[in-house]
Amino acid sequence: MALQQTDSLLNGFVERSKEILRDNLVGVYLHGSLVMGCFNPQKSDIDLIIVVDDPISDPVKRAYLDMAVQFNASGPAKGIEMSIVLRKVCKPFVYPTPYELHFSAGHLNWYRDDPDDYIRRMNGTDKDLAAHFTIINKRGRRLYGAQIKDVFAEVSSGDFTDSILYDVEGAAEEITECPMYLTLNLARVLAYKKDGLVLSKKEGGEWALEHLPAEYAPLIKDAMREYSESAEIVYDDILAKRYAEYVISKLTQ
């Protein structure tokens, strides 16, 4: 998927958002790999936060999800991941952060099989939103609507730390199932803990190669190759588990 195609998809997504949400729409904001310079159509998704003034009705949710599914089909391999949130939880920032609606490619079958159940249950709070809002504040892109600084408050260090630690809970047990993702994610979490850096997965890998013991370099390089080049990698599970245990020990010190 070329960047020109990505821009066309984003423009279409914004226009349909304006049609469906109308005056309730505050803005559409891009975060994730597309704003951090490491987008890979085979390994990345398109990450969006949509902010509204007022709660949205079930019929509007249905229309919006149908639209998201349509654009998801023409997006990158991992599709679109988006959350709709109320402006009042963005500034002042509320944590854990409530959301009105969420969609990702991983939920596609659920929505197709039982859209009413999906709409009824797909709301609540999401700790990941603290990390997403932090990226928007530091490196995000406004696609439409109010300026980022006028919508999103700064996320406290404590809330951001809790959010990113939550994302790697169970990493020592799960790293052999998704080694690329957890290897790089653990690295960027540790980079924040040690140096206060908010990094992409690619940048996290680069930081880890400079700062972590050399024995983990082959694993980190493999993860970076898979992420950047979509290379087929056979991982060393023993090394991966040892790496996860090492990083977690540093995170919990």
Q: Is residue 46 part of a domain?
A: yes
Percent of the chain with pLDDT over 90: 92
pLDDT at 2: 62
Are 135 and 89 within one domain?
yes
Handedness of CA 46, 93, 162, 35 (dihedral sign): positive
pLDDT at 115: 97
DSSP output for 63-128:
HHHHHHHHHHHTS-TT-EEEEEEEGGGBTTB-SSEEESEEE-GGGHHHHHH-HHHHHHHS-EEETH
In this predicted model, what pLDDT tens digit does every residue of 183-241 receive, in sequence order? 999 999 999 999 999 999 999 999 999 999 999 999 999 999 999 998 999 999 999 99
Are 90 and 146 within one domain?
yes
Asked which of 99, 127, 154 is the last residue of a domain, the reply is 154
pLDDT at 3: 65
Q: CA-to-CA distance for 100 and 116, rounded, in angstroms? A: 15
Check which CATH number belongs to the domain holding 16 and give it.
Answer: 3.30.460
**What mean pLDDT comes out for the span 168-192?**
95
Are the C-beta atoms of 45 and 76 separated by less than 8 Å? Answer: yes
Are 30 and 147 within one domain?
yes
Are 148 and 235 within one domain?
no
pLDDT at 169: 87
Residue 252 pLDDT > 90, yes or no? Answer: no
Average pLDDT, the chain: 95
pLDDT at 25: 98
Q: Is residue 126 part of a domain?
A: yes
Token readout for 197 is 């850096």
Asked which of 154, 187, 215 is the last residue of a domain, the reply is 154
Domain residues for the domain of 78 are 3-154
Are 133 and 11 within one domain?
yes
In this predicted model, what pLDDT tens digit does every residue of 13-39 receive, in sequence order? 999 999 999 999 999 999 999 999 899
pLDDT at 14: 98
Asked which of 119, 154, 189 is the last residue of a domain, the reply is 154
Residue 43 pLDDT > 90, yes or no? Answer: no
Are 16 and 131 within one domain?
yes
Token readout for 229 is 């080049």
Are 86 and 209 within one domain?
no
pLDDT at 4: 72
CA atoms within 13 A on the CB side of 231: 13
In this predicted model, what pLDDT tens digit does every residue of 95-126 receive, in sequence order? 999 999 999 999 999 999 999 999 999 999 99
Are 9 and 91 within one domain?
yes
- The SS3 call for residue 49 is strand
Q: Is residue 162 part of a domain?
A: no
Are 190 and 88 within one domain?
no
pLDDT at 1: 57
CA distances from 95 to 52, 129, 148, 196, 218 (A): 18, 9, 18, 20, 37
Are 188 and 212 within one domain?
yes
Q: Is residue 47 part of a domain?
A: yes
Q: Is residue 163 part of a domain?
A: no
**What mean pLDDT comes out for the span 137-142?**
97
Q: Is residue 159 part of a domain?
A: no
Residue 91 pLDDT > 60, yes or no? Answer: yes
Q: CA-to-CA distance for 69 and 251, rounded, in angstroms? A: 37
| Residue appearing with tokens 């013991």 | 213
Are 125 and 29 within one domain?
yes
Are 132 and 230 within one domain?
no
Residue 72 pLDDT > 60, yes or no? Answer: yes
Q: What is the count of structural domains for the chain?
A: 2
Q: Is residue 186 part of a domain?
A: yes
